[in-house]
Amino acid sequence: MPGFFLFSPERMKAIRERRGMSREQLAVDADLSYAMIAALEGGLRNPSRETLICLAAALDVLPRELVDEDPVFEPVAP
């Protein structure tokens, strides 16, 4: 059974930096504000599903590459 997934600011930043992109360039490419990119990388905001898809497209990765599985999530059996 799949777990619960959390956005990873560290992964987003690492991928952005590996691509040689500035926060400004990512904001333009993802059609987001610089403030949103800064808040996401700072862990102050979590992206909506739509925003996660835009970020992934701008970074040329799959959306799942921007998330981590929550190790403390324990699904409840129905």
If phi over 0 gives left and psi between -120 and 50 gives alpha, with beta otherwise, what is residue 40? alpha
Token pair for 52: 């996660």
Looking at the domain assignment, is residue 72 inside a domain? Answer: no
In three-state secondary structure terms, 47 is coil
Domain assignment present for 23: yes
Please check whether residue 13 is in contact with residue 41, taking contact to mean a CB–CB distance below 8 angstroms: yes
Could you tell me how many residues make up the chain? 78
Assess if residue 51 is contained within a domain.
yes
Domain that holds residue 20: 9-63
10 Å CB burial of residue 52 (0-12, 13-18, 19+) is buried
Whole-number percent of the chain with pLDDT over 90: 78
Is 31 a member of any domain? Answer: yes
- The rounded percent of the chain whose pLDDT value lies above 70 is 83
pLDDT one-digit tens code per residue, 58-71: 999 999 999 987 65
- The model's pLDDT over 18-30, given as tens digits with 9 standing for 90+, comes to 999 999 999 999 9
Domain at 37, CATH number:
1.10.260.40
